[in-house]
Structure 1
Amino acid sequence: MTDATFEGVAGQILPISLLEEMERSYLEYAMSVIVGRALPDVRDGLKPVHRRILFAMHELGLTPDRPFRKCARVVGDVLGKYHPHGDQAVYDALVRMVQDFSSRYPLLQGHGNFGSVDADPPAAMRYTETRLSPISSTGVLDNINEGIVPFASNFDGSQQEPVVLPAQLPILLLNGADGIAVGMATKIPPHNLGELVDGLLAAIDRPDITVEGLMNYIPAPDFPTGGEIVGNTGLLEVYTKGRGSIPLRGIAHVEEIQPGKGRHRRDAIVITEFPYQVNKAAWIEKVADLTNQGRLEGISDLRDESDRTGIRVVVELRKDARPEIVLAHLYRSTQLQINYGAILLALVNREPKQLSLKEALQEFLDFRIETLTNVLQQELGKYRKRSEELGAQLLALQFLDETIELLRNAPDGPTAKVQLQELLDCTANQADTILAMPLRRLTGLERNRIASEQEEVTAKIEELETLLGDRKAFLKHLKKELRSLKKQFSNQRRTRIVSEAPPQLEEADLIPNQAVVLQITQKGYVRRLLPAAFERHAKARKGIQEEVEDYIIQAQATELHQDFLALTASGRMFSVKVHEIPATSGRSRGTALVNVLSTKEEIVATFALAEYPEDSSLTLLTQKGRMKRVMLSEFANLTARGLSALKVKDDDAVGWAILTELSPDSSVAIATSAGRVLRLPLNVEQVPVMGRTALGNQALRLRRKEAIVGMAIVQPSDRLVFVSAKGYAKRIPARAIRMAKRGSVGMQAMQFKLKSDTLVGMVAAAEDVTMGWVTNKARVLRLSVGDVPESDRASVGTRMLSTAAGESIELVNLVSPEAY
């Protein structure tokens, strides 16, 4: 449907384009959110809700020298007069303006519970009280009236509200801003007031100053919670382009909590400052979880000793732990170090614009020059009016007798006014002033006071006219005001700046490169064991049948510094370091792979690698028979998002992946459930190397109701072992299967005694390698390849496992000694 109709005026039906109407309506909605709710104005740095809260409190007279007033009263005024939205939204905005850990220079003062850095909620608005802070009363709301800034009607036309507040400081950069609009977002960090004023003064004196020049005065953001900014590369990008990432970390030091030497000494890491907007309680919970999971080692205790004097979180270490290693892990694995993603996006002329530091300061200066000009012009008008009144009074005193005589004989006020204008050659306003003069003004003392005030007013008029007429004098006055605000409200920087990042500890520095054993189970769990623990709990059970809840299908001896790669059924490869896999005991079930990797997809193959040789590749095969090789080096330095190893169609999935090193005699064998085997030479013609996103070639044509059950890389001396669902098995030389070409049907390698039987697995290995068979009844049989009698292609094999009714073998794989 592309068109629609609606009933117009007087019942008229008008056809409209649904596409055009949707575009128009969505654009109106988007602009409403952008301009009316989510983004701050570059001039006063405020969103509409914050501006309305401040103005409503100004109207209520809640100045810093007045008593606190209930927040519910303020919220009610804001809702009723200016902001017809939810009361909780208004109260949340008010609370944030009070919190000294959210705003660098809070615009409101609070009395009561306004929340904490632990994300504790504030008390209800009926309990808390608020008033304007000195900086908002002086630096934001001073001189507010319709002659200084534009006003507009409120939502119902009953009130007038300011479109922008006459801010004397760049609140946009001072307190920063966060907001999510439609298709865009802003995240402006807070800054130090003294540094911003210095930057403004430099921009006034040198209009051509660069961003790099401004950074000599404004080196970095200044967060209310302190912390430490690492490096300046991200800062330059943020201030130049208006978008970038700022590395920010908490402040921590090491304390000796149990004095001693050697193994008797115990240390603790004490955190006194967290990065901006990091929840302290959530951070402590995260560290506890990582410690319990075994992903963060060396910690014996964790407690919060914070009080009203400041933050103090104590991380006690084990006796054998190295503090610098644990601290490095905390920086890497938790929000003790974050990247603050800054986006300097604000409304300029009611349109969103991404700003550089210089542009943001210049936009504010232009606005401040405009408002200051309006203030001076308004003051000049008041003084000129006062000078006119004083001149009238002095004129009347100069011609006192004539004035009294005129008033005595005048029949009424209007006539006296006209006669005064003719007698004294004065204006109508001056005549009104003379008529309104009290008798005490006729005394000699009052005459002197009038003359003295007239001199002062005249001098003030001359001063204001000079400021408005002389650009240099005007800017000097502006700088004087800025310096006064700096002296009144500036304080010391809280966030430290580290010009260069400290050298990052490499993996070898953080963790000793111990030998470990990784075991992968059938149900998708991974265990990381030390060799000593493995030897204590491992028991070989060759030839023994047993029932198990889970079964180890893959195991590998590796080291902590190696990479652990996992390939999913959808063809994506993920990687973590071996040391990131939690350590477990020999009796533990292990950790689910989905909790270790950044994916919840089915894992079909895993590898532990120390390096990625240029001549090594992965041979991949899908369940529908598509096969290709991809170079192993493609997967070095994987990110948490993973990387595609094979493009898979919707009705297909990756089934097998084998590490491959090319040799002249290597081949690949593919077996189907019908007992067919296709053997291809492993060369560039039959199994070529392809890109990661390629589909691969069709290696084997599958028949109806037939499925691939195994793939193996075969050497000439290897034996192929075939296992059926009913427990039959046989072993034949690999050379008994002749070489074929890609796309062939292969040849029959296994016959079945029972019509209901099928091939469930094929492995290629030497005689001393152990196999594991698992049935659908959770029975496991372990036996060597050499235990399976050798036979020819035409035989049905030997029954190696007697299956019960309804029982069948469903998994066959090779097992290394570490699997026991």
Structure 2
Amino acid sequence: MAGQIIKTEFSELMQKSYIDYSMSVITARALPDVRDGLKPVQRRVLYAMDQLGLNYDKPHRKSARIVGDTMGKYHPHGDSSIYDTLVVMEQDFKKGMALVDGHGNFGSIEGDGAAAMRYTEAKLMKFTQEVYLADLDKNVVDFVPNFDETEKEPEVLPVRVPNLLINGAEGIAVGMTTSIPPHNLGEVVDAVCAYMDNEDISTQELMQSVIGPDFPTGGFVVNKSELLSIYEGGTGKIKIRGKIALEPAQKKADKDKLVISEIPYTMIGANIGKFISDIVDLVETKKTSDITDVSNESSKDGIRIVIELKKNADVDNLINMLYKKTRLEDTFGVNMLAIVDGRPEVMGLKKIIVHHINFQYDLATRKYTTLLNKELDNKEIKEGLIKACDIIDLIIEILRGSKNLKQAKACLISGDVTDIRFKSEQSKKDASKLCFTERQSTAILELRLYRLIGLEMLALQKEYEETLAKIAEYEKILGSKKAMANVIKKDLQKIKKEYAIERRTVIEDGKEASFEEKKIEEQEVMFIMDRFGYAKTIDMAAYERNKEAVHNENKYIFSCMNTDKICIFTDNGNLHQIKVHDIPFTKFRDKGTPIDNLGNYDSSGETIIYLCNSQSIKNVKMLFATYMGMMKLVDTSEFEVSKKTVASTKLQDGDKLIGIYATDATIAVYSKFSLDGEVSDEEVVESRQYIILQTVNGVFLKFPLSEIPEKKKSAVGVRAMKLVNGDSIEDLYLLSHSSEVIIDYKGREVDLNKMKMAHRDTKGTKLRV
């Protein structure tokens, strides 16, 4: 059968396909549902564990089995994402309430990864089983087909607490992210109950219960006054700090110590190592001299990072420095985004609780409707059995006189006595009046004789009375919203009593961390860098003693103050700035440090065109020339920025810088630049007035500097020379009337001053050799 060609607009098709993909990622993978606070993969892992019977009172089972069942039945994605989900739900330092009981190496707070899934074992926590998975057999949630329609899975789990708040959530979708901090179980339960008591309650009143996030790592939230606006709008930044305390020396030989026992939530994992590295950097860069040693003594008992102090150290100033200069103080970005009725929505605290309560009413309605129907069925059956016991002799006579089960059942249901033998006409007459229901007749026919014992008869009557009581209770709950609310609140209070823990994070309005940075004693130093990129600074006396060796062994040499900055202009148009104080101050024969390690400059991807002291180019114009012949002047005030790396100029695609001049006559600059970044002799000239451009093909063009306009650093510039046949600029010279510059071009001496003057944006003259 021939296929049908459908013509469509390509852009419309791509737009529709991308939107479909985005919504799939948003709703089916990355974001949690507001009802149970779980992402699909988390929900499927927990349901698979429930189906495997991994109850809290049963033995652990291999994680690989859990991952396999989840992937094969419910979640057709990579096994690593499923196992990572299982691991995170076990880690009590990431979750407000851990949902999985793990056995084996499930990673650590310091960033150590979990062992492979074939080594670890897991089962459900009691909390998970009783609060997240209970009542699945009572038709409380809808079940939907799995990916290949061979299994059924719950659309949402019947979670009885606001898991979205208790365990928080993190997820990156397409064009949106969610970031919800964890909260204290007991406080959240109190807030839910407060809302059920007063639906007009404000967010501020709810926050009398939920006073703020409760991170499993403890620490401090220090912007309490900003929390109200965050919980009302659902977005904002929470400022968090670790817990640090002074441990005075116990013995004379000991040293005072600062001990960090709780860390910010954002420091979990590799950031602990980064934090220690930052402390070391503070010492190495001489930002502080109060620290003698730092060590990580953390164990399974908790975090313990120890900082040893010098005698008479300024402790308060050092603590403030750690808050300001390291991740001991950090921010947690809040964006309370979740799926509501199939669509992503940012919600505040009250709205999340409202959706949770509505979900709980739905769960309770379906649960008690199921239970009521079950008890009504029991009532019907028990009424039939009680009635049958009262006429048991007649029932036995019917059974003995019937030819088959169908005949006996018809008699019990409709009084049909056709072909049934009775002992007397009275019995036949009584049998014709029977009218049991289908269920009752089935129960009577299955009745065991021992139930006719007197005590069993009393037990049957008691069961019937209990069934009537349950029916009345369930009808009361379903008939009154207030009664249902009381049941939900009672259930929540029971959960709180059994599982709630003490708050770990302190909420306060902390003082802004401020410290006095140690002032640098201003000193003139000599910056030197060899051709391999190793940079250092030495004192002027050492330079004078080794002047000849310095110039013979190094590529860049100039004096500067240790309070200045070094400016690095590169061929891709970047300007990197490095504080002189951050460059190692060493002895002359010390190797120095690769300049790549001191800033953002990357020697593998860019070449230095011009390197200087920031003070030396103040109040001057910088002349830029590119490979494609574009030139401009830029005022150096545009480069006075705090960023370490900025764009010094704008380049066309495929273009790069080949030369930069500082046009002030009072400073020394390189007079010639080539494409490989090598430089010729330095030269100081009194009046720079003319530019000479030399191309790869030997074309020269001389024109006045005044023809180059001043532009912003974000401009491309103007064309300085018309290039033909794919030619490109190779060298740049800046001359004056008083200068005499003779170059060697392919074995021929060329006096640049005697070249004919022309104008910018012309072709130039080819030099014949």
Q: Do these two structures clear the TM 0.5 threshold for a shared fold by scoring above it?
A: yes
Match of 1:130 in 2: 122
Q: Does 1:598 align with 2:600?
A: yes
Match of 1:448 in 2: 458
Deviations 1:106-152 (A, max 9, x none): 11101222121232232333332211101110110000137111112
Q: Classify 1:266/1:535 alpha carbon distance in 2 versus 1 (closer, same or farther; 3 Å).
A: farther
Q: Does 1:537 align with 2:526?
A: no
Give the count of matched residue pairs: 693
| Sequence identity (%) | 34
Q: Does 1:557 align with 2:567?
A: no
Query: CA separation in 1, counterparts of 2:601 and 2:52?
Result: 55
Query: CA separation in 2, counterparts of 1:566 and 1:233?
Result: 44
Is the contact between residue 275 and residue 327 of structure 2 (CA under 8 Å) also seen in structure 1?
no
Q: Classify 1:538/1:326 alpha carbon distance in 2 versus 1 (closer, same or farther; 3 Å).
A: farther
Is the contact between residue 525 and residue 540 of structure 2 (CA under 8 Å) also seen in structure 1?
no
Q: Which of these residues, 705, 709, 714, is aligned with residue 733 of structure 2?
A: 709
User: In the TM superposition, what is the alpha-carbon distance from 1:184 to its structure 2 partner?
Assistant: 3.3
Is the contact between residue 551 and residue 557 of structure 2 (CA under 8 Å) also seen in structure 1?
no
Q: Does 1:349 align with 2:332?
A: no
Match of 2:514 in 1: 505
Equivalent residues in 2 for 1:123-522 (5 A)? 123-145=115-137, 147-232=139-224, 235-236=227-228, 238-257=230-249, 266-276=255-265, 277-279=268-270, 282-283=273-274, 286-287=277-278, 290=281, 294=285, 297-298=288-289, 299-319=291-311, 322-421=314-413, 422=415, 423-500=433-510, 502-506=511-515, 509-517=516-524, 519-521=526-528
Structure 1 window deviating more from structure 2 (690-699 vs 309-318): it is: 690-699
Query: CA separation in 2, counterparts of 1:427 and 1:517?
Result: 106
Q: Classify 1:142/1:528 alpha carbon distance in 2 versus 1 (closer, same or farther; 3 Å).
A: same
Query: CA separation in 1, counterparts of 2:569 and 2:206?
Result: 50
TM-score calculated relative to the size of structure 2: 0.79
Is the contact between residue 55 and residue 124 of structure 2 (CA under 8 Å) also seen in structure 1?
yes
User: In the TM superposition, what is the alpha-carbon distance from 1:281 to its structure 2 partner?
Assistant: 5.8
Q: Does 1:42 align with 2:52?
A: no
User: In the TM superposition, what is the alpha-carbon distance from 1:517 to its structure 2 partner?
Assistant: 3.8
User: In the TM superposition, what is the alpha-carbon distance from 1:550 to its structure 2 partner?
Assistant: 1.4
Deviations 1:386-426 (A, max 9, x none): 12222222222344455455445444433333333453544
Q: Secondary structure at the match of 1:415?
A: helix
Deviations 1:729-750 (A, max 9, x none): xxxxxxxxxxxxxxxxxxxxxx
Q: Classify 1:368/1:609 alpha carbon distance in 2 versus 1 (closer, same or farther; 3 Å).
A: farther
Is the contact between residue 625 and residue 708 of structure 1 (CA under 8 Å) also seen in structure 2?
no
User: In the TM superposition, what is the alpha-carbon distance from 1:305 to its structure 2 partner?
Assistant: 1.7
Q: Secondary structure at the match of 2:248?
A: strand
Q: Secondary structure at the match of 2:544?
A: coil
Q: Classify 1:385/1:606 alpha carbon distance in 2 versus 1 (closer, same or farther; 3 Å).
A: farther
Query: CA separation in 1, counterparts of 2:544 and 2:662?
Result: 29
Match of 1:664 in 2: none
Q: Secondary structure at the match of 1:359?
A: helix
User: In the TM superposition, what is the alpha-carbon distance from 1:383 to its structure 2 partner?
Assistant: 1.5
TM-score calculated relative to the size of structure 1: 0.74
Structure 1 window deviating more from structure 2 (61-70 vs 202-211): it is: 202-211
Q: Classify 1:646/1:197 alpha carbon distance in 2 versus 1 (closer, same or farther; 3 Å).
A: same
Q: Which of these residues, 77, 91, 101, is aligned with residue 85 of structure 1?
A: 77
**Structure 2 residues not aligned, in runs of 5+:** 416-432, 667-685, 694-700, 756-769
Is the contact between residue 527 and residue 584 of structure 1 (CA under 8 Å) also seen in structure 2?
no
Q: Classify 1:658/1:652 alpha carbon distance in 2 versus 1 (closer, same or farther; 3 Å).
A: same
Q: Does 1:756 align with 2:724?
A: no
Q: Secondary structure at the match of 2:72?
A: helix
Q: Secondary structure at the match of 1:335?
A: coil
Query: CA separation in 2, counterparts of 1:258 and 1:496?
Result: 29
Query: CA separation in 2, counterparts of 1:548 and 1:285?
Result: 40
Is the contact between residue 201 and residue 479 of structure 1 (CA under 8 Å) also seen in structure 2?
yes
User: In the TM superposition, what is the alpha-carbon distance from 1:168 to its structure 2 partner?
Assistant: 0.8
User: In the TM superposition, what is the alpha-carbon distance from 1:368 to its structure 2 partner?
Assistant: 2.0
Query: CA separation in 2, counterparts of 1:551 and 1:702?
Result: 32
Query: CA separation in 2, counterparts of 1:113 and 1:53?
Result: 19
What is the one-letter code of the residue matched to 1:538?
Y
Query: CA separation in 2, counterparts of 1:14 and 1:676?
Result: 64
Q: Classify 1:516/1:267 alpha carbon distance in 2 versus 1 (closer, same or farther; 3 Å).
A: farther
Q: Classify 1:706/1:188 alpha carbon distance in 2 versus 1 (closer, same or farther; 3 Å).
A: closer
Is the contact between residue 257 and residue 267 of structure 1 (CA under 8 Å) also seen in structure 2?
yes
Is the contact between residue 617 and residue 629 of structure 1 (CA under 8 Å) also seen in structure 2?
no
Match of 2:660 in 1: 655
Deviations 1:341-398 (A, max 9, x none): 3332322233333333333332222222211211111111111111222222222234
Q: Classify 1:608/1:490 alpha carbon distance in 2 versus 1 (closer, same or farther; 3 Å).
A: farther
Query: CA separation in 2, counterparts of 1:329 and 1:677?
Result: 56
Query: CA separation in 1, counterparts of 2:196 and 2:525?
Result: 65
Q: Does 1:672 align with 2:691?
A: yes
What is the one-letter code of the residue matched to 2:262?
E
Structure 1 window deviating more from structure 2 (34-43 vs 582-591): it is: 582-591
Deviations 1:270-329 (A, max 9, x none): 222222233266336634763686476534333222222112122234457544454444
Query: CA separation in 2, counterparts of 1:280 and 1:192?
Result: 24
User: In the TM superposition, what is the alpha-carbon distance from 1:608 to its structure 2 partner?
Assistant: 4.9
User: In the TM superposition, what is the alpha-carbon distance from 1:470 to its structure 2 partner?
Assistant: 0.9
Deviations 1:415-470 (A, max 9, x none): 33333345354422223223333233333333332332222222221121111111
What is the one-letter code of the residue matched to 1:229?
V
What is the one-letter code of the residue matched to 2:455?
L
What is the one-letter code of the residue matched to 1:598?
N
Is the contact between residue 520 and residue 526 of structure 1 (CA under 8 Å) also seen in structure 2?
no
Q: Classify 1:701/1:259 alpha carbon distance in 2 versus 1 (closer, same or farther; 3 Å).
A: farther
Is the contact between residue 670 and residue 708 of structure 1 (CA under 8 Å) also seen in structure 2?
no
Q: Does 1:12 align with 2:18?
A: no
Deviations 1:577-629 (A, max 9, x none): 6555555445445444443333435463555579x9xxx85523212574445
